[in-house]
Amino acid sequence: MKIKKDHQFNNYRIGRGKRIFDVVFSALALLVFSPIILLVVIGVKLTSKGSVFYKSLRVGTGYDIFTFYKFRTMYKGADAERSKLSELNEYLISHKIKNHTFTNIENCPDCKEGQPCSPILFIDGIEICENMYLRKKRLRLLESTFFKVKDDPRITPFGRILRSTHLDEFPQFINVLKGDMSIVGNRPIPLYEAEKLTTDEWSYRFLAPAGITGLWQVDNSKALKAENRIRLDNKYAMISSPMQDMIIILKTIPSLFKFKSSNS
């Protein structure tokens, strides 16, 4: 699978100060939590068949592809079962609940009375301006891009514990040490998601480093909307700074002591 690149996305380089912080933070985390990491390795090995680590190709800064590490939380062969769960995708369910259907021209925020903002189309007996029609199509595509299933049957019992305590994320510090990721950035995404996020409207997220945590992870709105996720990723790419990174880290720390959904 090929990901289209643009020269503008190859310009980002992690600053020296940020890189030094990433290396020191990651090395200390792996050292301090090494006893817990050893217990996790043993637990994964004893509770299900397969490798201790889950490896997948992810897309990060500038559409660069790298091998992403986590502790395995699913049964062996779980990736092949993904297509069977597509109807349970919470992003699509959220999309359907919000009823993103074609609506009358009056609902377009850019149209003025008697002055449509673009040519009028007739879809299923409904008048809709072309701009609104294209926006609806983009939203439908975006909502089908991300994947999340509640009570995913592919997750092992021990895997649910790892996910709820965030312990499955520890191998990502290896990615940080290798330079694939940063502590703070936008989450690296699978190839099948990245290939759908190539328009200018959505691709600014790839101007930022791939990160373990970021703006979307600490967002308190709890809105399960792909559009909201991309908006926050794009925002981080535009406003990232050492101070912003520190704020995100401070907001992330409290969540480490709370149980989270095993599907996050």
104 and 69 share a domain?
no
- For residue 261, tell me if it sits in a domain: no
13 and 76 share a domain?
yes
126 and 169 share a domain?
no
74 and 135 share a domain?
no
169 and 68 share a domain?
yes
79 and 156 share a domain?
yes
Counting other chains too, the contacts that 227-230 makes at CB distance below 8 Å and 24 or more residues apart are 227/139, 227/142, 227/143, 229/146, 230/142, 230/197, 230/202, 230/205
65 and 156 share a domain?
yes
115 and 185 share a domain?
no
- For residue 162, tell me if it sits in a domain: yes
CB 155 within 8 A of CB 163: yes
End residue of a domain, out of 102, 125, 143:
143
188-198 confidence digits (pLDDT tens): 988 877 877 77
77 and 178 share a domain?
yes
**Residue 224: other Cβ atoms inside 10 A:** 16
Q: Over pLDDT 70: what percentage of the chain?
A: 64
- For residue 197, tell me if it sits in a domain: yes
- For residue 21, tell me if it sits in a domain: yes
The better pLDDT of the pair 153, 89 is held by 153
**Residue 132: other Cβ atoms inside 10 A:** 22
Determine what percent of the chain falls in helix, strand and coil, rounding each to the nearest 5.
50, 15, 35
Q: What is the pLDDT of residue 97?
A: 43
* Rg, C-alpha atoms of the chain: 20
49-66 confidence digits (pLDDT tens): 999 999 999 999 888 999
**Residue 246: other Cβ atoms inside 10 A:** 12
- For residue 139, tell me if it sits in a domain: yes
- For residue 78, tell me if it sits in a domain: yes
Q: Which domain holds residue 211?
A: 7-83+149-255
d(CA 51, CA 258): 27
231 and 157 share a domain?
yes
Residue type at position 100:
H
- For residue 2, tell me if it sits in a domain: no
139 and 61 share a domain?
no
Task: Name the 3-class secondary structure at 1.
Answer: coil
102 and 68 share a domain?
no
Evaluate if pTM is beyond 0.85.
no
92-151 confidence digits (pLDDT tens): 545 444 444 444 444 676 677 667 777 766 666 666 776 666 666 656 655 555 656 667
